[in-house]
Every structure is written in C-alpha cells, then in structure tokens.
Amino acid sequence: MKRMLAVCATIAALDCAAAAAPDAGKTIAMKGSATGAPPCTSCHGAQGEGNAAAGFPRLAALGQSYFVRQLDAFAHDRRKSPVMAPVAKALDPAQASAVARYFSSLPAAATPAPPRDAATSGALLAQAGRWSESRLPACNQCHGPDGSGVGDSFPPLLGQPAAYIKAQLVAWHDGARAPGPQALMKTVASKLSVADMDAISGYFGGAAPAAGAAPPAGTIRDAAQVAHKDGFTPPPESAIPDDEFGKLVRRGKAIFIDTKKNAAAFVGNDLNCVNCHLDAGRLAGSAPLWGAYVAYPQFRSKTGRIDDYADRLQGCFQFSMNGKAPPLGSDVLRALEAYSSWMATGAPVRTRMAGAGYAKVARPTGGGDHARGARLYEERCALCHGAAGAGQRARNVQVFPPLWGSRSFNWGAGMHQLNNAAAFVAANMPLGQGGTLDAAQAWDVAYFMDAHERPQDPRFTGSVAETRRKYHDSEDSLYGLTVKGQVLGAGR
C-alpha cells in the first residue's frame, strides 16, 4: 500500500483511480457499466479493432489521454454524436479513464503501410499536402510516418475506417465537431474538397468510404484559402525527368526531406532541411530552394566572401544542422544542388524573387518579450514542439523538430537570429496557420525560442563575450546576453 501511494504521488490522479481497480476498464468495455453505458466492444469489436463497414473507429492503442478527451468531448457535445453522447455521459471520470487505459493497452492490428510512392491524390495529400495552393500541411506532418499517430494529440489515422475518417473531416468542416486543439483540424478541413476527403480517408482507411456517406453541406472548399501567387511556380514533382539528372534530383529531395537519415555523416542534431523550408523546399515565403538557388553566388557578411550555392549549403549543415560541411563536390552537395536547380527551372538567374527567403517582419520596440513569448508558446507551439521545445518523435522519426536544446540548431544558425525566426514564425507557424500571429507576437515567440540554450557556435573562440563581438554583434542575436539570469551561449 505504501508503494502504491508512492506511485500515485508521481502519476496523474486519473491513472491512480484506474490503478486502484485494475480490471474496471476491461469490465466496462466487455459488459458495460452499472451506470448504463453499453459494452464498448458491441460496436468497436472484441479487441477494440473497430468496424470498417459501419465506420466505427478502432479504439485499441489509441492513447489514453486522447481517449479520455474524446469521451469528455462527447459528453459535453463538443463532438456531436447521438450514439456516443449518452455513453460518455454515463461514465464518471474514473470510469472513463479506466476504459481508456484498457483500450490503450490493447495492441492495434498490424496495418500495412499505405503506398508511399503512389501519385494518387490521397498519397499526395497525406505525404506532401497542398502548400503552394492553399498552405495545407500534409496529414503525416502532424500524424507522423504513415499517419500512425504522434504523442497525445495526434491520433493514428492508419487503420481507422475510411468512413470514420471522412465523417470526422466533414464534421470539422461543418462545425459538428469542435475545432480541436488550436483549431488545427478545422483549418485543415476548410481547405479540403469532398474529393480530397474521400482520397485521404481512402488512403489511410484502405478503401474509399461508401459514396454519399455523410455528404458535407454546401461548398466544402473554403473560398477564403489564400492562393500564393508569387510569380514563380516550381515544376511539379511529376516533371522530374526520368534520367541520370532526375535520379540525382530525387536523391537531393530525399536528403532534403530526411536529412538525418540520408546525409547522416553531416547532421549533428534532429532536424531536417524541410523543417525550415516547408513543402519540400517549394513554399514561397519559407525560404524556397528556387529563390535561394538563383540568388547565388552572392556576398555574405557571415563568411566575408562571395559564396556560391554549394558554399551556402555547407553553411546549412554546419549551423542549422549542427553538423559538418559536406565537402565541395561531394554527393550530398551535388544532389541538393541538382534538386534546387531543378526546382528553379525557368527562374531568372541572380534576381531577388518574390517569395524568396522569409518576408521580413518589422521589429517591434524592444524586439520581443520573454514572458509574452512564453505564454504564446504554451498556447500555440507546445502542442507540437512540446513544453520543453524538444519536438516529438514517432516510430523513430522526428515528426516535430526540436526548437532548442542539444538536438536543435546551434548558435551559428540563421534561425537563432530574432529577425529570421520572427519572419519564419509569422509566415508559417503554427503549421498551416501562417499569418495568424501578428508581428509583435511572432517576435515574442521568436524571442522565447531563441532565449534558450542550444549547441555552441562552431566558430566559438573560447570566450562567449569575444564570440559575441566577432559574430553576434547585433540586436537580432541573444548570444552572450543574460536572459533570466543565464548567459546564453555559455552552456549549462
């Protein structure tokens, strides 16, 4: 009993309630509750595997916290369901938690991974999104590799019945389901057509939902979605030629998307190129590769010389990836250069293109506030990047990038500068909701992010003060300054 109390002191109260009655959840699941809830397994299957034909979702391995929140939403009508509302209302918090715990402990049936190379619209929406046209993130950017779920807030899509997935998208679109954390799914659903919803739900659910199932009311594609007309459209993926050059372009893309895996020797943290250059480097306003490629060679004050594109790529590895510069002429640089140049096909050499880089955001007086930034971070960023800024992983893949700490970009990276970070945040964060923070908010968040410790600048001279004088003598850098009693750059 003493031991049990000690455990209770360290885990959440709900867990303790369940821990006190280990079989309570299973009993409710199999037989229903004394308070009138029917057995969950009647609809959701004996092992919580769901019912594809009826569109009843899988409950097994769903995640306890997520499960409890869904029951709460049904009980309080944030998810409208005539079937689930009375069930959820019949369970008290301890019962709900017990059921959640039970189903979370059941293994999900192995579901074959969806086809990654398919050029179907479902595969494209799941893996690439539709950034340029409507700033629609890919499903997998939040739901993880193959949509298999990430953490507490991004449930698995893979293996859920197609009809269920589609019904949820329709419900978010129509307001029948609450907008969800930060209205992310409301935003997403507003950018989807009925055909898109069918494609996505079919992709993850293994089959298209029955036609006519829950047809959405009205025109479903949101007319308010922003078309980004920046005067340049990179060629579509399908235009990558089927020859030696095309091979190198594809290799470049693979490195760009999954840098840690495909250029391992040169990466010293948990980031990938695509973290700062959204939509595989295509997206205007997110430092697209086509905008960068045509800007080089150029003088950079950072290096004090004219850098060409390969030189510039080296800098990314050294600083943003906290790694080592791939040698000039190496396969990694050649592949990234090929990918970039292909993306810039037709773009004018040595011009500043609309949509290149990150659009500057005016520096507010003071340049950002730590306390306001911390509040905003908690509200808008922590869901994905975590309270400690460490990002989130799933199935051994870094789904959300770490923003500070030992696995993030180092003190020499461009993103450690407030102006760059604020510009990136304003245009692109939260993911798919770029433009929803104003300039001052973007600076506050940037300040909070960049006021954390991270790996040392590789140009470190041995003295933080001297390194600041030499490389960071700018109001955009917090390196070497004291924030919250800590000299940044001095390590911990």
Q: How far is the CB of 232 from a copy of itself (least distance, A)?
A: 10
Distance CA 208, CA 192 (A): 16
Q: How far is the CB of 301 from a copy of itself (least distance, A)?
A: 10
Q: How far is the CB of 140 from a copy of itself (least distance, A)?
A: 30
Q: Which is nearer to a copy of itself, 120 or 345 (CB)?
A: 345
Q: Where are the alpha helices (DSSP H) in 158-193?
A: 162-174, 184-190
User: Nearest to residue 154, comparing CAs of 164, 144, 146?
Assistant: 144
Return the residue matching tokens 């692109």.
Answer: 428
Q: HSE of 144 in the Cβ direction (CA atoms, 13 Å)?
A: 21
C-alpha dihedral, 160 to 164 to 170 to 172, nearest 10°: -60
End-to-end CA distance of the chain: 40
Q: How far is the CB of 335 from a copy of itself (least distance, A)?
A: 9
Distance CA 488, CA 477 (A): 10
Distance CA 84, CA 46 (A): 18
Q: Which is nearer to a copy of itself, 329 or 462 (CB)?
A: 329
Sign of CA dihedral 259, 262, 263, 268: positive
Q: Which is nearer to a copy of itself, 200 or 313 (CB)?
A: 313
Distance CA 18, CA 102 (A): 9
Q: Which is nearer to a copy of itself, 310 or 427 (CB)?
A: 310
Q: How far is the CB of 308 from a copy of itself (least distance, A)?
A: 6
Return the residue matching tokens 């298209």.
Answer: 208
For 5, the enclosing helix (H) or strand (E) is helix 2-10
- Whether the Cβ atoms of residue 298 and residue 305 lie closer than 8 Å to each other: no
Q: How far is the CB of 87 from a copy of itself (least distance, A)?
A: 59
Q: Which is nearer to a copy of itself, 317 or 443 (CB)?
A: 317
Q: How far is the CB of 325 from a copy of itself (least distance, A)?
A: 11
Type of residue numbered 157? L
User: Nearest to residue 401, comparing CAs of 418, 421, 375?
Assistant: 421
Q: How far is the CB of 278 from a copy of itself (least distance, A)?
A: 21
Q: Exposed/middle/buried for 189, CB within 10 Å: 0-12, 13-18, 19+? A: buried
Q: HSE of 160 in the Cβ direction (CA atoms, 13 Å)?
A: 23
Q: Which is nearer to a copy of itself, 296 or 448 (CB)?
A: 296
Type of residue numbered 169? L
Q: How far is the CB of 337 from a copy of itself (least distance, A)?
A: 6
**For binding to a copy of itself (CB under 8 A), which residues are involved?**
243-245, 248, 293-294, 296-299, 305-306, 308, 310-311, 328-329, 334, 337-338, 341-342, 344-351
Q: Which is nearer to a copy of itself, 70 or 341 (CB)?
A: 341
Q: How far is the CB of 340 from a copy of itself (least distance, A)?
A: 9
Q: Which is nearer to a copy of itself, 60 or 289 (CB)?
A: 289
Phi, psi of 307 (to 5 degrees): -100, 140
Q: Which is nearer to a copy of itself, 337 or 444 (CB)?
A: 337
C-alpha angle 6/9/12, rounded to 5°?
130
Q: Which is nearer to a copy of itself, 94 or 254 (CB)?
A: 254
